[in-house]
Amino acid sequence: MKPKHLGDSVHDLLDGRLRGDRAYAAMAHLGECEECAGRFHELRAARDALNSSEAGIDMRFAEQLLDRTRIAEIAAAERPENARATRPVRRGPVIGFAALMVFAVLIVGAAWQEGAPDDVSLEFAQPRKTTGTSSVAYFDPQGMRSGEMLRSWIHPDFSQSDLIPIEGRVIQRANGQLALFATILSGLDVVQIVQQHGQLTSSMVAQMPRASVDGTEVYVVASGNSSTVVWQTGDVVVALSCECSLKTLESAAAEFPTAENPGFMDRVANGFESFADALSR
């Protein structure tokens, strides 16, 4: 080997990449050249220090990585799409939206509870029990046949039915609930109709006799010479009473259509209507 400095061969010697005569010549040169020997020993000491640190990491480099100022400087030099992760997360809009959603759920839940149908007791079915009530609307036979004033109630199609309408009226009870009282003829028998929006509680009819009218379950109430059938359809409770046979009442009940139960949105809408009425008072 020529008497010159090892240069980059120092690294090859340190890494063990020199073999045979080249390695021997390099080692001989270190014995003769103080400058190359000093550089060799410095590099070996630095490598030993690096390998002896925890996880083989230069702690000074780790400190630089943890330096927020340095990280910000690096991020500033990046393109916007690459530096996106360094931007602070704006939590304000997210928290505000979450709070708004929670508030909306609470309001809708309150409207759902408020829109629950009122419980209807069997006493409502007594056609003559109208004490403490006030009249809201009256229907003559023609008004009952047209059905315009009865759209919120359950009524047969008198143009297709053998039932004959006589009269009807909507009254407001002392508790504020509306009820429909109507009279029809089924043959020669006078049938009284009472209807009220709400829900017939199962506990009141649990032990009552039952009958099936066109697949609809009706409850039978007998009192002296009078009979009454009561059933729930949609959000309306219907009662037919007559001093006649139960068969006559069942035939009349079969002429009344069935209604669908109110859905989720209907109940919520009813709740909001109740809120609006309470605020307007």
Q: CA–CA separation, 239 vs 221, rounded Å?
A: 10
* Triad 80, 83, 85: Cα angle to 5°: 130
pTM, two decimals, is: 0.56
| Kind of pairing between the strands at 119-120 and 199-200 | parallel
pLDDT bin (cut points 50, 70, 90) of residue 73 is low
Q: CA–CA separation, 36 vs 201, rounded Å?
A: 102
Name the strands in the sheet holding 134-139, side by side, starting at the edge strand that comes first in the sequence: 134-139, 164-172, 178-186, 189-197, 236-242, 226-233, 216-223, 210-213
**Of 104-118, 193-207, 245-259, which gets the smallest average pLDDT?**
104-118
Give the three-state DSSP class for 31: helix
In terms of Cβ atoms closer than 10 Å to its own Cβ (0-12, 13-18, 19+), residue 222 is exposed
Q: CA–CA separation, 241 vs 226, rounded Å?
A: 7
Show Cβ contacts of residue 255 under 8 Å, excluding neighbours closer than 6 positions. 156, 161, 162, 163
Residue 166 clears pLDDT 80, i.e. is over it: yes
Q: What is the pLDDT of residues 74-92, one digit of tens each?
A: 556 556 555 455 556 667 7
Buried b (16+ CB within 10 A) or exposed e, 93-121: eeeeeeeeeeeeeeeeeebeebbebeebe
> Quick one: the chain helix, strand, coil %, rounded to 5?
45, 25, 30
Give the three-state DSSP class for 76: helix
- Nearest CA to 115 out of 281, 221, 278, 273 is that of 273
Q: Other CB atoms closer than 10 Å to residue 22's CB: what's the count? A: 14
Q: H or E stretch including 181?
A: strand 178-186
Amino acid identity of residue 15, one-letter, is D
Residue 246 clears pLDDT 60, i.e. is over it: yes
| Kind of pairing between the strands at 189-197 and 199-200 | unpaired
Residues counted in the chain? 281
- Nearest CA to 177 out of 234, 233, 220, 237 is that of 237
- Nearest CA to 233 out of 257, 266, 267, 206 is that of 257
Q: How far is CA 219 from CA 204, 232, 255, in A?
A: 10, 9, 16
Tokens for 220, please give them: 């039978």
Average pLDDT over residues 185-198: 92
Q: CA–CA separation, 253 vs 157, rounded Å?
A: 12
pLDDT bin (cut points 50, 70, 90) of residue 64 is low
What's the pLDDT at 226? 81
Cβ(209)–Cβ(162) under 8 Å? no
Cβ(218)–Cβ(211) under 8 Å? yes
Residue 152 clears pLDDT 70, i.e. is over it: yes
